[in-house]
Amino acid sequence: MSELLQNLIDGLGRGSIYALLALGVAVVFGIMHLLNFAHGELITIPGYLAYWAFTNDWTWWALAPAIIVSAVLASLVIERIAFSRVRGATDFTMLLTSFGVHFIVAAGFLLYVGAGVKQIERPGWFANTVSLGSLNIEVFDLIVIGATFAVLGATTWLLQRTMFGLALRAAASDFDTARLMGVKSDSVIRGAFALSGFLAGIAGVFWIMREGQVTPSAGINPMLQGVLAALIGGLGSLRGAVLGGFVLGLAEVLLRSWLPVDIQNLTTGFVFVMIALLFIFRPGGLLSVPQVERV
Amino acid sequence: MLSRSFPQTRRDVAFPVIGSIVLFIVLLGGGMLYQTILGNGSAERLVTTMLIDAIIVVGIQIYIGNTGILSFGHIGFGAIAGYIFAVYAISPEEKLKRIPMAPFGLTDTQVSPTVAIVIAVAVTLVFALIVGIGLARSGAQSGSVAATVITLALLFVTHEVAKSWPELTGGNRGGISFGIGESLKTRLPILAMLFAALLVARLYGQSRSGKLAVAAREDNLAARAMGVNPLVQQMVALLISVIVVSVGSSLRVWQIGSILPDRFFFDYAMLTLVMLIVGGRNSVTGAVLGVAVMTAARELARRLGQDGFEVFGIGLDDAPLDWVFRENLNSVVLGLAMVGFMIWRPTGILEDWEFDQWLYSKFGRGDESEPERLAELDNIPDVRFDASGINVAFGGFKALTNAGIEAAAGEIVGIIGPNGAGKTTFVNVITGMVEPQSGEFSIDGEDLAGKASYELSRSGLVRTFQNLRLFGALTVRENVEIAALVAQEHRSERTLRDVDSLMAEAGLWEHRDRRARELDYGNSRRLELARAAAMAPSFMLLDEPTSGMSDTESITMIEQVRHMAATVGAGVIVIDHDLAFITGISDRIYVFDQGEVIAQGTPAEVQANPQVQAAYLGSAAMT
């Protein structure tokens, strides 16, 4: 029982980061049907910033906001330079554009910083745990979970209660109609990218803290987890993306604890197989958005 | 009856073979030239690598090009094939060193490299089948995002397994090196397989399955309405492309002499994709061109990155451009090529230009003269269409209440009603797109309720679309041909009309080689009609065939619809809100209002019906 509880908390901690990433992916997908394979770069770029900051003796207190700001800026810049030029293109074109952006960013760091692993010092409290009965809870997990729920709450408020949120949801459900109703497409798309970057920035703070290092291709894993989680939840559904993130995190942790020791290192493989099974039985994901075929 | 039956030997077999030979010679010749001029070992290795990349890229083209589904997974399949090839081909002594704990009793097995390739292909095909089923379940179609993520996941799974199953794969560091004599020294197997790959890709592209897959790529819904099951054709394309990719990947492992998880991962997936995209993913010629261009560009970038401008002997070594010419410049080139092409030319250099088809159109076709007009069929098989008791409710709103129509062979039946009368819902029901709460419909007693749209059209009910749905990138002739191909297979008991004659009949003869998307509105409508007729349907279902047409055009359309239907002996069910058109064309008319059939009869009877006047013409007309 306590082991299960322990795993649940671990899984929630892991899932929180995925949920933030997935929500960022889903916001952009909803608004322009772009599945952003460059979403991970919103962690790579701040990652190198963090590396630079540490060599200049910044503290995490200064660094965390810097990470978030840089993620938002990176998201906006990438939109401006690349994605704004393929707006309205086929899904195929947009997918490959984002894939290309990932490669340009990765190759840029490879060119100017080098292929080596750059270490980033974790904060002193990172490995601390608090004991609660038989449970050992990592402080890190608690902070991640707390921060994630706060951010998700704020995002919900933003989407449900503000004019920007209304415009964003309207545009996500029917872009053309929303424009006819006076929603400014440029600003709503930029807003979506800014929000996506902000969410990635929060996730990035924790991701970078947990990994404690950065490499040119560091964006691949967070991208994959975010994209998969969004897909598990049901592409196009914001709630689904958050749910998908938590499901993915819990699945990873629970599976690792249940698998026999000698095949534990294949956990990721098994998670993928489970995702495949999910798609076979529920092709649209957990909270699938009904796709109307237009004749 | 088909004077130009399928496949056409010259167009679909002879010229593709010639084209493959030419592509092969040009690629190899270019490589040999470069190698001879530079005359060093690294040039030779570069050319060998290019030839192997070409096999793999051409293999990927078979899937991506024909289905329009973006796949990262082919390099994952390549990893599977590569590892299987490696563990079978490696010598027992090497195995003891590298993978002494290999499962499945593999430690003592050794087979010749050729046999190992065969095993690798066979096992990889099993994986391809499973992934293919998953893709089909996800509703894969051209550009579909979920399908792409599934293939991406496959790439990651294979990589993950390769890294974390060292008993079989040698893990991340050591890799499996070869003690099978040596690594591949001769180029012969590579050349043979490259030629075979080109041949397979071109012949598949011209094959029935290839053409149907391309139709589905262009418009999935329209393809299904023409009796194509896209999922089957996608699976065929996947399996064939995986065979080619598996062979190419095995050769890649053989030639390098070792395998590591990272060799078949993101970077290689990116490289092969960029090659395919840059040249033009929808053509094999494009794939080959892309391989050549990107190999050259990357080599140039690599050398510039290493030596600055000195490769050209200009000696600009410590020039201000140093910040650009750095090591790993070639990776940046890849990313820039991808994004640049996506922004400025997403279809690649050649788009879908295929060398052998160009050759055929220049030299292979001979003279074509416009075929004679077709006579209308006089003995039409006696079939009936019946729909009855159809109820559809969307939530609380009753879209259709006990609706139904009947139509006899050769008859033209009109359905008319004001907006919101339920016409479109009715069409959607009998074309399998909306499932009714109750009701049945059948052709000649064959119950059609619950069937998929491609089954409906094979049974003889073929539709057109209110918003045109043509296979845009295909020519007028190819559009009609797709339908004729399906008819050959599924409608052979009917009189099948020649593709050329149908085009001429629709007044499209002079436009036959133009792409469908270049046609004007009226011609597009006529092409939809000709395409539907080529299915040899029992009934053609025309959804607002005159929408967007002027009155005079509508009147011409009446004659064309009548004549087209008569030449293939089809009955017509036509939905429109244009009263003049419907009364002009129909033998009998059903009037829908608020989801119910409120009247039926001959045009005169219906027009005289006061209920109809009230419902359709409104009170203004009554006064």
The 3-state secondary structure of A119-139 reads: ECCCCCCCCCEEEECCEEEEH
Residue B618: count other Cβ atoms within 10 Å of its Cβ.
10
- Which of A85, A92, A279 has the CB atom closest to B137's CB atom? A279
Nearest Cα residue in chain A from B154: A272
CA B394 to chain centre: 34
Token pair 């009603």: residue: B417
Q: A292: pLDDT confidence band, cut at 50, 70 and 90?
A: low
- Which of A95, A108, A269 has the CB atom closest to B157's CB atom? A269
Task: Return the pLDDT at B442.
Answer: 93
3-state secondary structure of A89: coil
Rounded Cα–Cα distance for residues B117 and B244 (Å): 11
Q: B323: pLDDT confidence band, cut at 50, 70 and 90?
A: low
Check CB contact under 8 Å for A90 and B346. yes
Chosen for mutation from B72, B135, B150, B152 (greatest number of chain A CBs closer than 10 Å) is B152
Of B359, B313, B568, residue with least CA distance to B460? B568
Check CB contact under 8 Å for A97 and B466. no
Q: B510: pLDDT confidence band, cut at 50, 70 and 90?
A: very high
Distances in Å between the Cα of B233 and the Cα atoms of B204, B205, B210, B227, B230 are 11, 12, 7, 12, 5
Query: Between B325 and B122, where is the model more confident?
Result: B122
Most confident stretch, A96-100, B325-329, B364-368? A96-100
Query: Between B355 and B578, where is the model more confident?
Result: B355
Chain B closest-CA separation from residue A144 CA (Å): 26
- A100-114, B170-184, B227-241, range with the lowest pLDDT: B170-184
3-state secondary structure B278-289: HHCCCCHHHHHH
Residue B574: count other Cβ atoms within 10 Å of its Cβ.
25
Cross-strand bridge partners of residue B575: B415, B543
Task: Return the pLDDT at B313.
Answer: 54
Rounded Cα–Cα distance for residues A68 and A62 (Å): 11
- Which of B133, B149, B346 has the CB atom closest to A228's CB atom? B149
- Which of A33, A107, A276 has the CB atom closest to B335's CB atom? A107
Query: Between B162 and B172, where is the model more confident?
Result: B162
Chain A closest-CA separation from residue B369 CA (Å): 36
Residue type, B274: V
Task: Return the pLDDT at B25.
Answer: 97
Check CB contact under 8 Å for B149 and A231. yes
Rounded Cα–Cα distance for residues B622 and B267 (Å): 73
Q: What is the mean pLDDT of residues B504-514?
A: 92
Largest CA distance in chain B: 100
> Residue B243 corresponds to which tokens in the numbers above?
């065979």
Residues B187 and B28: beta-carbon distance below 8 Å: no
Q: Is B96 left (phi over 0), alpha (psi -120 to 50) or beta?
A: alpha
> Residue B546 corresponds to which tokens in the numbers above?
């005159």
Check CB contact under 8 Å for A93 and B342. yes
Task: Return the pLDDT at B114.
Answer: 92
Q: Classify residue A96 as exposed, middle or buried by CB count within 10 Å of its CB (0-12, 13-18, 19+).
A: buried
Per-residue pLDDT reduced to its tens digit, B137-155: 887 888 788 888 889 889 9
Query: Between A125 and A264, where is the model more confident?
Result: A125
Task: Return the pLDDT at B257.
Answer: 86
Chosen for mutation from A25, A93, A97, A99 (greatest number of chain B CBs closer than 10 Å) is A99
Most confident stretch, B198-207, B349-358, B493-502? B198-207
Residues B365 and B342: beta-carbon distance below 8 Å: no
Report the run of H or E that residue A169 belongs to, with start and end.
helix A163-173
Task: Return the pLDDT at B620.
Answer: 45
Check CB contact under 8 Å for B160 and A269. yes
3-state secondary structure of B438: strand
3-state secondary structure of B109: coil
Chain A closest-CA separation from residue B546 CA (Å): 16
| CB half-sphere exposure, B34, CA atoms < 13 A | 20
Q: Is the peptide bond before B7 cis (omega within 30 degrees of 0)?
A: yes
Check CB contact under 8 Å for A92 and B143. yes
What are the phi and psi torsion angles at A219 (to 5°)?
-75, -15
Token pair 């589904």: residue: B69
Rounded Cα–Cα distance for residues B86 and B79 (Å): 10
Token pair 């970038």: residue: B301
Chosen for mutation from A103, A227, A286 (greatest number of chain B CBs closer than 10 Å) is A103
Most confident stretch, A188-202, B305-319, B580-594? A188-202
Report the run of H or E that residue B402 belongs to, with start and end.
strand B397-408
Asked whether residue B2 carries a pLDDT value surpassing 50, the answer given is no
Check CB contact under 8 Å for B335 and A106. yes
Angle, alpha carbons A24-A27-A33 (nearest 5°): 120
Q: B322: pLDDT confidence band, cut at 50, 70 and 90?
A: low
Check CB contact under 8 Å for B138 and A82. no
Of B173, B175, B156, residue with least CA distance to B86? B175
Predicted ipTM? 0.88
3-state secondary structure of B187: coil
The mean of the pLDDT values for chain A is 88
Task: Return the pLDDT at B581.
Answer: 87
Torsion of CA B260, B261, B266, B270, to 10 degrees: 40
Token pair 């980061």: residue: A17
Check CB contact under 8 Å for A96 and B70. yes
Of A289, A228, A273, A96, residue with least CA distance to B149? A228
Asked whether residue B623 carries a pLDDT value surpassing 70, the answer given is no
- Chain B residue numbers with beta carbons less than 8 Å from the beta carbon of A113 are none
Q: What is the mean pLDDT of residues A211-226?
A: 92
3-state secondary structure of B208: helix
- Which of A101, A283, A294 has the CB atom closest to B137's CB atom? A283
Check CB contact under 8 Å for B332 and A108. yes
Chosen for mutation from B165, B267, B339 (greatest number of chain A CBs closer than 10 Å) is B339
Check CB contact under 8 Å for B328 and A111. yes
Chosen for mutation from A111, A220, A259, A277 (greatest number of chain B CBs closer than 10 Å) is A111
Q: Is the dihedral of CA B239, B245, B248, B250 positive or negative?
A: negative
Chain A closest-CA separation from residue B134 CA (Å): 6
- Which of B164, B332, B543 has the CB atom closest to A104's CB atom? B332
Per-residue pLDDT reduced to its tens digit, A253-271: 998 888 887 777 778 778 8
Check CB contact under 8 Å for B339 and A104. yes
- Which of B143, B335, B433 has the CB atom closest to A295's CB atom? B433
Rounded Cα–Cα distance for residues B418 and B403 (Å): 15
Q: What is the mean pLDDT of residues A153-176?
A: 89
Asked whether residue A132 carries a pLDDT value surpassing 90, the answer given is no
| CB half-sphere exposure, B431, CA atoms < 13 A | 25
Q: Is the dihedral of CA B32, B38, B41, B46 positive or negative?
A: negative
Fold observed for domain B384-616: Rossmann fold (3.40.50)
Task: Return the pLDDT at A257.
Answer: 86
Check CB contact under 8 Å for B339 and A101. yes
Check CB contact under 8 Å for A266 and B134. no
Residue B312: count other Cβ atoms within 10 Å of its Cβ.
11
Check CB contact under 8 Å for A272 and B68. no
Q: B479: pLDDT confidence band, cut at 50, 70 and 90?
A: very high
Buried b (16+ CB within 10 A) or exposed e, B243-268: bbbbbbbbbbbbbbbbbbbebbbbbb
Check CB contact under 8 Å for B146 and A85. no
From edge to edge, which strands make up the β-sheet containing B588-593?
B461-463, B539-543, B571-575, B412-416, B588-593, B596-601
- Which of A86, A227, A268 has the CB atom closest to B343's CB atom? A86
Distances in Å between the Cα of B253 and the Cα atoms of A237, B38, B78, B88 are 42, 26, 10, 12
3-state secondary structure of B433: coil
Check CB contact under 8 Å for B149 and A276. no
- Which of B150, B266, B335 has the CB atom closest to A279's CB atom? B150
- Chain A residue numbers with beta carbons less than 8 Å from the beta carbon of B328 are 107, 110-111, 115
Cross-strand bridge partners of residue B590: B415, B600
Nearest Cα residue in chain B from A224: B153
Token pair 């279809």: residue: B347
Q: What is the mean pLDDT of residues B566-584?
A: 90
Residues B595 and B422: beta-carbon distance below 8 Å: yes
Pairing verdict, β B384-394 and B397-408: antiparallel
Report the run of H or E that residue A62 belongs to, with start and end.
helix A60-81
- Chain A residue numbers with beta carbons less than 8 Å from the beta carbon of B271 are none
Q: Is the dihedral of CA B272, B277, B278, B283 positive or negative?
A: positive
Q: B3: pLDDT confidence band, cut at 50, 70 and 90?
A: very low
Asked whether residue B590 carries a pLDDT value surpassing 50, the answer given is yes
**Domain edges within chain A:** 2-281
Check CB contact under 8 Å for B339 and A82. yes
Angle, alpha carbons B558-B564-B570 (nearest 5°): 105
Residue contacts between A and B (CB atoms, under 8 Å): 138
Task: Return the pLDDT at B621.
Answer: 45
- Which of A99, A283, A295 has the CB atom closest to B338's CB atom? A99
Extended beta strands in chain A, E state? 118-119, 129-132, 135-138, 213-214
Chain A closest-CA separation from residue B621 CA (Å): 32
- Chain B residue numbers with beta carbons less than 8 Å from the beta carbon of A115 are 328
Q: B233: pLDDT confidence band, cut at 50, 70 and 90?
A: very high
Q: DSSP for B41-75, please give it.
A: HHHHHHHHHHHHHHHHHHHHHHHHHHH----SHHH
Fold observed for domain A2-281: ABC transporter involved in vitamin B12 uptake, BtuC (1.10.3470)
Residue type, B586: S
Of B85, B90, B95, B82, residue with least CA distance to B110? B90
Nearest Cα residue in chain B from A271: B157
- B124-133, B183-192, B485-494, range with the lowest pLDDT: B183-192
Residues A158 and A164: beta-carbon distance below 8 Å: yes
- Chain B residue numbers with beta carbons less than 8 Å from the beta carbon of A222 are none
Nearest Cα residue in chain A from B337: A100
Distances in Å between the Cα of B148 and the Cα atoms of B71, B72, B235, B351 are 5, 7, 15, 21
